[in-house]
Structure 1
Amino acid sequence: MRITILAIGLTAVFLFTGPADQAAVASSLRETPLVRAVQRAQRAVINIHTEKNAEESNSVFGTTKRGRINGMGTGIVIDERGYAVTNNHVIAGVDTIEVSLNDGSRYPAHVVTFDRKHDLAIIKVEGDADLDVMTIGTSSDLMLGETVIAVGNAYGYVHTVTSGIVSSLSRDVEVNEEQQYKNLIQTDASINPGNSGGPLLNLDGEVIGINVAIRQGAQRIGFAIPIDEARNLIARLMSIEVLESKFHGVATKDIKQPELQELLVETVTTGSPGEKAGISAGDIIVRIGDVEVHDRVDLERALLGRTVSDEIPVVVKRDEEEQSLTLKLASTTRAQYAHGVEQPIETKPVSYERGGTWDVLGLRLEELPENQKSRVGPRYRGGMQVQAVRADSPAAASGIRRGDVLVGLHVWETVNTENVTYVIGHPQLKTFSPLKFFILRNGETLYGHLTLKNSISTP
């Protein structure tokens, strides 16, 4: 076959010389923007598989186990170290989490933190998983009728891809008396049980929403949390102040526009690490270490895991010129800064102090000695041994007893005194009630919930 080009105005019609040329062009026609978008995102999508008891009780004492329930969901990788965002309802109350990747490999994971009201949670994939960070778009310029793509673990069919359009914007949806959503994206891309927590993509392969709900009894009516709103919530969940009691002192604002996504410094706390580093209001934070910064999630994840002795390179844009600075974090929180002076942190034994674990939980705790760490096995790094339980306390009501090993409170491990102090002194402690706990007893992990009281008791 000979090749001929027929040009009419700006239109060209190609005739092909042979099968090889036809195959090449056919391949390019098949590789549509939708296909490229999925290829770009698939390594940053994780399938979540969960397990929990079929019957749950508020007390670990006397709980009857009637079997196990398997759950499923989807997550979006937001950091190379394994941090991923999903819906809180995917991981709420589960005992174990396992994730699978697009290459079929499987890894355990654990909950880092969550926001029940807005139905978002952060989990961390354990092990040496090969993960890509999802490319983040913006929901500020969504158009009715534009093509969107959902990727998720639909009914356990991992990495299911569906497509549709944006059907509506700013939908308010009430699931039940306890869960309501505001300002959701409505789409007709097929979303099924198991898609929860997965990405809603645009044709550039960027996340523009997090799939969260479907209309029961309807077909092709699904809803997603707009990504700009979700990223504000994720930043709070990833805050180093919340997760690690470290402080940078920089208050920022996300700038989200179709062609511009950047992080603006609004204020810097007097005397804070940010001020000492030379960061000023009006700066645009460009990069922290190796992380390119586009919003506050990038800021927090770039600082997560850093020690107070680390000298962290920071690049800011000021007056259209980039400047290199060095930031050193403080081991404190925003509340401990007053009048521009860093307040020292007081470390006290938690067992007997007023407002400590004896008062709040009804427990006297002691760190598990190094020579007894084998009691907790490879699953935990350590724990706090229960020395005494106060009568009529939340701990007593939940069946905790002397000899148990406390290995977790809420979403945090309890390896040492500082871990426990952090939880019971948390400014949002009341919102955690009932406070979930995990204990080891006779080699078995048990869990329950502590209903916290306002009254203070003496030992």
Structure 2
Amino acid sequence: MALVAILVSVANVPVLALSPSSPSAPASRITPIVRAVERVRSATVNIHSEKRADQADSLFSTNKDRKINGMGTGIIIDTRGYIVTNHHVVNGVDSLRVTLVDGSSYMARVVSFDSKHDLAIIKIDPAQQLDVMVMGTSSDLMLGEDVLAIGNAFGYEHTVTRGIISALSRDVEVNEEQGYENLIQIDAAINPGNSGGPLLNRDGEVIGINVAIRAGAQKIGFAIPIDDARKIIARLLNIERLDNNYHGLQAQDFKQGVDRRLIVSTTSPGSPAAVAGLAQGDVIEKVASIDVVDMADFERGLLGRRGGEAVTVVVRRGEEQKNLQLKISPLNQRNTTVAVNRNAVQQSFSTSTSDTSGGSAGEAKSPWNVLGMRLQSLPPGERSMVNPKYRGGMRVVAVRHEGPAYRNGIREGDVLVGLNVWETITAENVDYVIAHPNLNTFNPLKFYILRGKETLYGYLQLSDSK
């Protein structure tokens, strides 16, 4: 399979701002395409990054102090400065700067990311509320449909290109570590720097997030369908992950053309959502002042609020509209073991080796089967971001629904730094623990995770550790 080029450029190039259409322009020139671009320009941002050369091309450079500039594009998803982009745009960088359409720029920080699906949330602290991108749906895309791409192409800010949808449901493999599924294929020009930018329909609604081009090919670009992306964004904005708060709601996004709804599936017994009166089948229409069409909107409406704060949730139940009061709870009041704050935890882990003489680390003893989570080694560029108390950790990239990790509050994006008395820097460390002949004596199995700046510990009740 042909390789795919990830869209990060290392060139220093001048920038060129695109001017809005003149108020005096003849009406015949203000086409739907022009109106679509004007609708979203203010919610599209340019991202400039800097990283050390030894993180990017140390194989070819002897100057370890040299800096490399990268570029990408982002989409504003919240007025407070939350922006979605591709993970590969921000992966391993030392600094991030976001430039808005008015030319103002802000330093940014990575809030959360999903490397498997190549998405990340970054945050700036703007001087005023920002315009939010108009979200569409990828549920009703048509072959041959007109599309627009806006991005920081080769550093030329807010570059607009036009094309059509060439194909749907494309699977593209970049390398052994990165692949994409269900991509939109387009023939609009997608150049280095476009990564993370919006793919738009003629109405100026986002239908995808641009990700990659086929190396050496002309008029072949790809984008993540926005409906797929919004499900990942919901997890990245989850208030358990970012705020250590808890709502206890599970809901299903329903999107078919203009019919877009968030429907309650279930609520955890005794949870804030259950206490508020949310019920299966309710259609959530609003959280505080935010209109809701999917779980990403719901999480966004609760994000940044204090534990114990009450929020008005508007739901449609049959023909009746109800205003409910949802009082979110601090995670440490949830009936799980994960939310014990360990800011003062002492490093007490032993170093395990790859010696698995205590038992086979085969499929039956995989972290997925035993612990209910899939783990990935932290790349060198991210190890420096781990709490200095620890030498490294393993990123949680997937959690099995209702498995031990899920039941005890571990979520995607957490960093597992220890099991029982052993540190977990490599896959071999984890295999050593779960294949240990005395694993039953460790049950429940103590774990340590990093979530943001918090160190948490808890206990995994293993259903079958034989």
TM-score past 0.5 threshold: yes
Alpha-carbon distance, 1:105 to partner: 0.9
1:34 aligns with 33
In structure 2, C-alpha distance between the alignment counterparts of 1:150 and 1:399, rounded to whole Å: 34
Deviation of 1:244 after TM superposition, in Å, equals 1.9
Name the CA distance, whole Å, in 2 between partners of 1:116 and 1:77: 20
| Matched residue, 2:335 | 337
Paired residues of 1:350 and 1:358 also in contact (CA < 8 A) = no
Q: How many residues align?
A: 359
Matches within 5 A, 1:137-152: 137-152=136-151
Q: How does 1:15-414 map to 2 (within 5 A)?
A: 27-56=26-55, 65-332=64-331, 336-337=334-335, 346-347=340-341, 350-352=344-346, 357-359=347-349
Is contact 2:196–2:209 with CA below 8 Å preserved after alignment?
yes
Q: 1:155 to 1:346 in 2, by over 3 A?
A: closer
The structure with the larger Rg is 1
Which residue does the alignment assign to 2:374? none
Instruction: For residue 328 of structure 1, report the CA deviation from its aligned partner.
Output: 0.6
Q: CA offsets, 1:92-151, max 9 Å, x none? A: 000000011111111110000110111000000123255211010000111111110000
| Aligned mates of 2:96, 2:115 — CA distance in 1 | 18
CA contact (8 A) 1:241 1:333 kept: no
Asked if the contact 1:49–1:98 (Cα under 8 Å) also holds between the matched residues in 2, the reply is yes
Report if aligned partners of 1:82, 1:129 keep a CA contact under 8 Å in 2. Answer: no
Q: Using a 3 Å threshold, how does the CA distance of structure 1 residues 288 and 130 change in structure 2: closer, same or farther?
A: closer
Q: How big is the shift at 1:26?
A: 6.7
CA 130–276 in structure 1, closer or farther in 2 if over 3 Å, else same: closer
Question: 2: CA distance between counterparts of 1:24 and 1:123?
Answer: 34
The answer as to whether partners of 2:284 and 2:314 remain within 8 angstroms in 1 is: yes
> How far does residue 431 in structure 1 lie from its aligned partner after superposition?
7.4
- Given that residues 111 and 411 in structure 1 are in contact (C-alpha distance below 8 angstroms), is that contact kept between their aligned partners in structure 2? no
Q: How far apart, in 1, do the equivalents of 2:108 and 2:50 lie?
A: 12
State the Cα deviation string for residues 409-452 of structure 1 (Å, max 9, x = none): 9999xxxxxxxxxxxx97358974799xxxxxxxxxxxxx9658
Q: 1:157 to 1:257 in 2, by over 3 A?
A: same
Structure 1: which amino acid aligns with 2:335? Y
The answer (yes or no) to whether the contact 1:274–1:327 under 8 Å persists in 2 is: yes
Residue of structure 1 in register with 2:361 after alignment: none
Q: Secondary structure at the match of 1:279?
A: coil
C-alpha separation in 1, matches of 2:383 and 2:25: 67
Q: Which position in structure 2 is the counterpart of 1:374? A: none
C-alpha contact 1:433 1:451 (8 A) present in aligned 2: no
Matched residue type, 2:90:
I
Q: Which amino acid aligns with 2:189?
A: S
Deviations 1:348-369 (A, max 9, x none): 56434xxxx432899xxxxxxx
Residue 410 of structure 2 corresponds to which residue in structure 1?
A: 427
* 8 A contact 2:79–2:132 mirrored in 1: yes
SS at match of 2:297: helix
| Whole-angstrom distance in 1 between the partners of 2:260 and 2:410 | 31
Deviations 1:8-57 (A, max 9, x none): xxxxxxxxxxxxxxx99971110000000000000100100000000039
Q: Deviations over 1:366-403 (max 9, x none)?
A: xxxxxxxxxxxxxxxxxxxxxxxxxxxx9xxx999xxx
Counterpart Cα distance in 1 of 2:348 and 2:165:
53
- Cα distance in 2 for partners of 1:144, 1:290 equals 36
1:195 and 1:211 in contact (8 A); partners too: yes
**Do the aligned partners of 2:245 and 2:328 also contact (CA within 8 Å) in 1?**
yes
Structure-1-length-normalised TM-score: 0.71
How big is the shift at 1:241? 1.2
* Unaligned stretches of 5+ residues in structure 1: 1-22, 58-62, 363-393, 413-424, 436-448
CA spacing shift, 1:434–1:152, aligned 2, 3 Å = farther
Moved more, 43-52 or 173-182: 173-182
Q: Do the aligned partners of 1:53 and 1:67 also contact (CA within 8 Å) in 2? A: yes
Tell me if structure 2 keeps the 8 A contact 1:312–1:327: yes
The one-letter amino acid paired with 1:284 is V
**Alpha-carbon separation, structure 1, partners of 2:23 and 2:108:** 42
**1:408–1:148 CA distance, 2 compared to 1 (3 A):** farther
- Look up the SS of the partner of 2:348 in the other structure: helix
What is the CA-CA distance between 1:259 and the residue it aligns to?
1.7
Instruction: Tell me: CA distance 1:309–1:129, structure 2 relative to 1, closer, same or farther (3 Å).
Output: same
Query: Structure 1 100/299 Cα, relative in aligned 2: closer, same or farther at 3 Å?
Result: same
Q: Is the 8 A contact 2:392 2:417 kept in 1?
A: no
SS at structure 1 position matched to 2:55: coil
Q: Distance in 2 between matches of 1:157 and 1:24?
A: 24
**Residues 1:221 and 1:129: Cα distance change in structure 2 (over 3 Å):** farther
Indicate if the aligned counterparts of 2:391 and 2:425 stay in contact, CA closer than 8 A.
Answer: no
* Aligned residues with identical type, % of pairs: 51
- Alignment RMSD, CA only? 3.5
Which residue in 1 is equivalent to 2:5?
A: none
Q: With CA pairs under 8 Å and 6+ residues apart, which has the higher RCO, 1 or 2?
A: 2
CA–CA distance in structure 2, aligned partners of residues 111 and 273 of structure 1: 29
Change over 3 Å in CA distance of 1:332–1:25 after alignment to 2: closer
The answer as to whether partners of 1:113 and 1:411 remain within 8 angstroms in 2 is no
Write the letter of the residue equivalent to 1:250. L
User: CA shift at 1:337, angstroms?
Assistant: 3.3
